Structure 1
């Protein structure tokens, strides 16, 4: 074979090879953008990326409140609001379960010590209540627009003295979206006594926890029972008194006068069940389960964790006055 022919063939082989490589790359790019599935990208400047949250949390930990993205990519916005009626100390709230702040007695406003950007999704939850108060949140979640968030409201009221516990008349689905929606059902239920703030004795692995370790009451988040508090079925019938950790470990009267099946998500040790209950109360999948309790018992373990029930079914709620 002549040198001229050999060079011609090798040159054309090179051109064909490069063309094939180009086609493969082009096909790969088109496949990505034509795929209807959401692709999780690691982007520290995407306000809803996991890496954004992690970078942002690390900066807060070391006391750096500046925006970690270039100013040209973001607006430096804050998240906060107003407080009313707060007379006690100990109130703590968290942002997206990561950044936590304490709000002292007498405060009229609050703001998280960080800068976020337009498009950032936020949700505020209670970590703990103030002594002597029960506080409620309004406008607690949303997406950052062009301006800082200033309309989150925390309204605080005196805590109950003769605190009641009741089990709802109606049964409710497991897939309520988020746990705090169960609290709303307490007030709307026919068994609601007509006055007072009640929360559902239901836990998840995110926003309401009774205990992390067995029977210890550690790591509580927005737990519904107070330490050393007596709870009543009615004005004259005492159900029992909690221990120093806010756990009802002895009972003198049954919470109800007949058997009930009420959602709890609790184990017999006051910890959250191993698998997130009904997907943290967002699923009605028949193959997922949530723990339920029985109100007609003097055994605290049966009251909080009597059986498992499919998330496709409905259950009552135990509502605790705050």
Structure 2
């Protein structure tokens, strides 16, 4: 292997001496790039045309990955999930290398830091950047964007090329609506109510929708203690998510860290108002008046709300007979 390596070095030096059209010593040539790759593969740490320069990997800026996915969900009411990327520089520079990092659409994500610097003394150190989703309040779906990394240096011998990270951001904003059909208190239990929501024409195509109902059987629960969010079971709202009415535009409100609206909210779920089954107390706790956990249409009572209310009446307005024909709330998942 040592003999092969020496022979390769000799060939590259001859190429430089002859000043061929594909000159190994010309940083703009394909041969220069291929030379560096072969040297790396054979374990050499010196470039034949730049004997004072060490090479540890591909020339120029290198990234741990060139794509990624983040989500508006995962952080707080302003920021979503994050991804980190490792950066290294492939050869020893004679001057500082500056890398400016730019997000193609700053309303989608932030990046930190926005500038990194390698010096001739720390050029082989690893750098880290973090891309974090912006959690907006718009129903805007999955979007594509780019992270641009632009290296510059006073060292003209370096092979510097802009790098791109292709990114996707997933939306966490959802629809919340009143279902389209009247139903007595026997909704088929939670499973039947969920099926009704998912088949409703207001549920977006390709999405699953679930019923925003409370039970005292432990099947679906928003909270045990009012407004606290403790003991949740299969709850249908998401944390730090913004909800809109079925027109896909009118804002309802943004949930908190425990997936509950802090009342009052911006707007009700539907206007003009209709009476809806909820089985919820004024502070999101389950109420025992729930038509036998939504399986009884012949006796008993169920708590209802008013869809146009932006306050506690949205959840708990009256206690009515389970023989009543009413609608209920559905939340996109």
Bucket of the pairwise TM-score, normalised by the shorter protein: 0.3 to 0.5
Scaled by the length of structure 2, the TM-score of the pair is 0.46
Q: Which structure has the highest strand share of the two?
A: 2
